[in-house]
Amino acid sequence: MSQRKVYKLTIYHEGAHWDVRLRGKKRFLQERAFLDQLMGYPPVPRPAPDPTSDLYMLNDEQLEAYSAFRKKMKRSE
């Protein structure tokens, strides 16, 4: 088994929050880029991970889009 580093994104939705744990920097950066685009954040360089900005408050539509993105990523592995 690969010894890839585990990265974390924190998702908030309607008062609940959970951590999404991702293995490998490439996957982490892909998901973070998707969430940044979904939220309308400008593309700016920042460290990976960045504990000050790897937090996302999603509405229902954004959460649905993120879930679909994750399913698509899982199928392509």
Q: Render pLDDT for 22-57 as a digit per residue (tens, 0 to 9).
A: 999 999 999 999 999 999 999 888 888 887 889 999
* Averaged pLDDT score across all residues of the chain: 91
Q: How far apart are CA 10 and CA 74, in angstroms?
A: 19
> Residue 1 — very low, low, confident or very high, per pLDDT cuts 50/70/90?
very low
pTM: 0.88
pLDDT at residue number 48: 87
**Residue 12 pLDDT > 90:** yes
CA distance 37 to 43: 8
**pLDDT of 2 strictly over 60:** no
Quick check: 6 and 15 in contact, CB under 8 A? no
